[in-house]
């Protein structure tokens, strides 16, 4: 792996009259987005008029309306006074970033990174006279800020207990939180709908957190560029303080009680991100999380090849229609390789159970450099190569941590495409460092990575584009043992978890049933909602490495499968056409000259217009895969139609409850 320098980056330093404003008398500074609709003000709140220093706070307006009231900033340190309560602004340094960069996989390519920047240098007015810099960036779709602790002897060794960071919402908002049981979690749960004032103070909220301030804006709070630090959560401040205050909580270290982050100065925190827009669809289109990460350090990314994968785990040991014993064996793996090859899929994912000498739960304690006796790995690699299919391997994170230096070079020699690493279920500082060690080591050996049992994305894939996707979502696997993956849950994910980045939801179930007919089962699982809904998920959900989850025979002879096969996993442009949280979503994505439009409905039927203004000039051919008129009774029934269209026309999405529609639009030849 070679390191590459950033290209196409323009930074302008000087007086940006429209983007920042410093007021020496009030000890405050302002920063505006390039379109001037978003403004953030940083100021010092003093206890008395003669105070030399005070509490650092910030507030945000959107389109002239307050969306965040004055919110505290700072850090709580172990065995030291907190930083943030005794500060004065010494200097501010405005600049601008305007760059365009390309990515191997994303929802847009190329990506435009355009923001105004302000670095605010602060110092304590009284002993111990420490310094702090807050760097802020203002985008047209949000505000981000982070803390930078400079290198100085009095703060050389840092132990951060927590952050003082607050988000004081300007009014009682409707929120869609992911409430987690604790800091050690797989992030696999349903999102809820409740008011900010109805959020219990003991609830631990995972990011991103979506909310609506009626008549003002849609906001989403998350973080970006999480490196050498602990993951952030939110908690509602007790009512006696303020019913509208959300406070940062850092994932604690498991090895040092009472501490979340240890290190030495200079030190910087991740970006704290407030996405802002007039509609939730604009947030889905945003690239702010990726833009806040450093450029790619991988000079040659030609080996990073997104695509679809056949998968041997989800459907269970489904023995019908085959003449061999289905299981973790060479014959089953070859069957899936054949399916991938015939379908034009790039990959086959060989899931847990392939490795030798597994002694712990979920194969922890396995030797991931050897296959178990029922898997003839040399033969499997030879066979896959002959079929133009590459193999991904599953591994428990403890085994990767123990054998990474031995296994990754071996996988490169074998020709393995990537590794799905599972069950981390933490985002404390040590585990965050593990993710980065994996990304670096995998890149050195031309391996792609899919993190499962993972915390939410933070934009790492910009710096290490070999980290193509991750789970951190209650996905289709839950149909094997629960009733939690409902059509409305699928709709909700597009507005919540997907804001953070790609998600390996693993769609593609073709045993489609209504809710009253659904039965959780481990073999040949069912899915709620219609066949058109499940097909549209391949467009609505973004994952450069995408599972096609069902057993090969589930797709045989099904008229929807050719459409499913045609959907790409990488995109040049993304537009949200219709959006109502929990009810429906329509997303149009462009790949080259072709557009794919996916629409899904929750628990209610919906009829939506789809204007085609995103098309270029000329005529196009649209192929629509829609719910059949009787899909509310027979969810597997669909109608496929073709018609010529142009950008002045509108198409209709008529969906039954739990329904969907998928459209492919190509230039007419």
Q: Which residues are catalytic?
A: 422, 477
Tell me the sheet residues that pair with 348.
310, 391
Q: How far apart are CA 98 and CA 585, in angstroms?
A: 31
- Under DSSP, the state recorded for 532 is H
Q: How far apart are CA 514 and CA 582, in angstroms?
A: 18
CA 348 to chain centre: 23
Q: How far apart are CA 554 and CA 565, in angstroms?
A: 14
Q: How far apart are CA 19 and CA 110, in angstroms?
A: 25
Secondary structure string (H, E, C) spanning 114-133: EEEEEEEEEEECCCCCCEEE
Please name the residues in contact with 461: beta carbons below 8 A apart, sequence gap of 6 or more. 103, 105, 106, 290, 467, 468, 501, 502
Please, are residues 182 and 502 in contact by the beta-carbon 8 Å criterion?
A: no
Length of the chain as a residue count: 669
* Angle at which helices 429-444 and 397-414 cross, to 10°: 10
CA 630 to chain centre: 35
Q: List C-alpha distances in Å: 5 to 9, 111, 295, 300, 550.
A: 10, 17, 8, 12, 42
Q: How far apart are CA 77 and CA 141, in angstroms?
A: 32
Please, are residues 464 and 482 in contact by the beta-carbon 8 Å criterion?
A: no
Please, are residues 349 and 420 in contact by the beta-carbon 8 Å criterion?
A: yes
* Angle at which helices 531-540 and 487-495 cross, to 10°: 10
Q: How far apart are CA 152 and CA 128, in angstroms?
A: 12
Q: List C-alpha distances in Å: 178 to 33, 210, 352, 480, 604.
A: 29, 10, 28, 22, 23
Secondary structure string (H, E, C) spanning 589-650: EEECCEEEEEEEECCCCEEEEEECCCCCCCCEEEEEEEECCCCCCCCCCEEEEEEEECCCCE
At residue 621, what are phi and psi to the nearest 5 degrees?
-110, 125
Q: List C-alpha distances in Å: 26 to 72, 80, 446.
A: 17, 28, 54
Please, are residues 535 and 625 in contact by the beta-carbon 8 Å criterion?
A: yes
Nearest to 651 by CA among 668, 635, 663: 663
Q: How far apart are CA 558 and CA 565, in angstroms?
A: 12
* Angle at which helices 377-386 and 330-343 cross, to 10°: 20
Q: How far apart are CA 324 and CA 332, in angstroms?
A: 8
Q: List C-alpha distances in Å: 508 to 245, 309, 491, 532.
A: 41, 11, 16, 10
From first CA to last CA, the distance across the chain in angstroms is 42
């Amino acid at each position: 792996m070679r390191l590459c320098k950033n290209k196409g980056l323009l930074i302008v330093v000087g007086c940006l009259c429209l983007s920042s404003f410093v007021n020496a008398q009030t000890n405050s500074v302002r920063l505006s987005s390039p379109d001037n609709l978003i403004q953030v003000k940083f100021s010092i709140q003093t206890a008395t008029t003669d105070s030399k220093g005070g509490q650092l706070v910030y507030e945000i307006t959107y389109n002239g309306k307050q969306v965040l009231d004055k919110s505290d900033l700072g850090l709580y340190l172990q065995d030291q006074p907190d930083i943030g309560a005794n500060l004065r602004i010494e200097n501010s340094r405005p600049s601008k970033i305007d760059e365009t960069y390309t990515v191997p996989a994303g929802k847009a390519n190329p990506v435009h990174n355009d923001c105004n920047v302000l670095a605010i240098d602060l110092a304590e007015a009284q002993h111990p006279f420490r310094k702090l810099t807050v760097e802020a960036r203002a985008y047209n779709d949000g505000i981000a800020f982070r803390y930078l602790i400079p290198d100085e002897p009095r703060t050389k060794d840092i132990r951060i207990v927590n952050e003082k960071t607050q988000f004081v919402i300007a009014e009682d908002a409707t929120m869609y939180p992911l409430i987690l049981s604790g800091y050690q979690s797989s992030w696999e749960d349903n999102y809820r709908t409740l008011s900010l004032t109805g959020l219990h103070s003991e609830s631990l909220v995972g990011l991103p957190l979506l909310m609506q301030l009626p008549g003002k804006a849609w906001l989403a709070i998350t973080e970006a560029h999480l490196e050498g630090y602990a993951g952030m959560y939110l908690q509602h401040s007790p009512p006696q303080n303020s019913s509208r205050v959300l406070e940062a909580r850092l994932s604690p270290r498991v090895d040092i009680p009472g501490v979340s982050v240890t290190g030495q100065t200079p030190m910087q925190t991740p970006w704290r991100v407030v996405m802002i827009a007039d509609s939730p669809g604009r947030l889905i289109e945003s690239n702010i999380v990726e833009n806040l990460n450093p450029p790619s350090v991988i000079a040659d990314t030609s080996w990073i090849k997104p695509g679809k994968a056949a998968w041997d785990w989800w459907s269970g040991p489904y023995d019908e229609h085959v003449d061999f014993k289905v299981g973790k064996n060479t014959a089953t793996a070859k069957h899936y390789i054949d399916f991938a090859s015939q379908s034009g899929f790039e990959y086959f994912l060989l899931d847990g159970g392939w490795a030798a000498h597994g002694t712990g739960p979920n194969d922890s304690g396995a030797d991931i450099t050897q296959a178990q006796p029922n898997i003839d790995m040399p033969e499997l690699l030879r066979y896959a190569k002959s079929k133009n299919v590459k193999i991904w391997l599953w591994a428990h994170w403890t085994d990767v941590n123990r054998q990474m230096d031995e296994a990754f070079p071996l996988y490169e020699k074998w020709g393995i495409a990537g590794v799905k690493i599972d069950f981390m279920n933490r985002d404390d500082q040590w585990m965050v460092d593990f993710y980065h060690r994996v990304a670096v080591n995998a890149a050195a050996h031309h391996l792609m990575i899919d993190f499962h049992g993972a915390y939410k994305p933070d934009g790492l894939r910009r710096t290490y584009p070999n980290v193509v996707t991750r789970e951190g979502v209650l996905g289709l696997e839950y149909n094997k043992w629960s009733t939690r993956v409902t059509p409305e849950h699928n709709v909700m994910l597009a507005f919540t978890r997907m804001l953070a980045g790609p998600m390996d939801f693993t769609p593609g179930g073709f045993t489609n049933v209504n809710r009253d007919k659904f039965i959780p089962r481990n073999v040949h699982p069912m899915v709620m909602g219609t066949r058109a809904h499940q097909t549209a998920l391949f467009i609505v959900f973004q994952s450069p490495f995408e599972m096609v989850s069902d057993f090969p025979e589930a797709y045989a002879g099904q008229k929807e499968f050719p459409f499913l096969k045609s959907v790409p996993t990488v995109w040049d442009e993304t537009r949200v056409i219709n959006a109502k949280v929990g009810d429906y979503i329509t997303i149009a994505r462009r790949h080259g000259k072709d557009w794919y439009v996916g629409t899904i409905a929750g628990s209610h039927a919906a009829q939506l217009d789809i204007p085609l203004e995103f098309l270029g000039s000329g005529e196009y051919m649209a192929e629509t895969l829609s719910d059949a008129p009787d899909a509310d009774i027979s969810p597997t029934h669909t109608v496929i139609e073709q018609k010529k269209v142009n950008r002045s026309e509108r198409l209709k999405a008529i969906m039954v409850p739990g329904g969907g529609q998928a459209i492919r639009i190509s230039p007419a030849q």
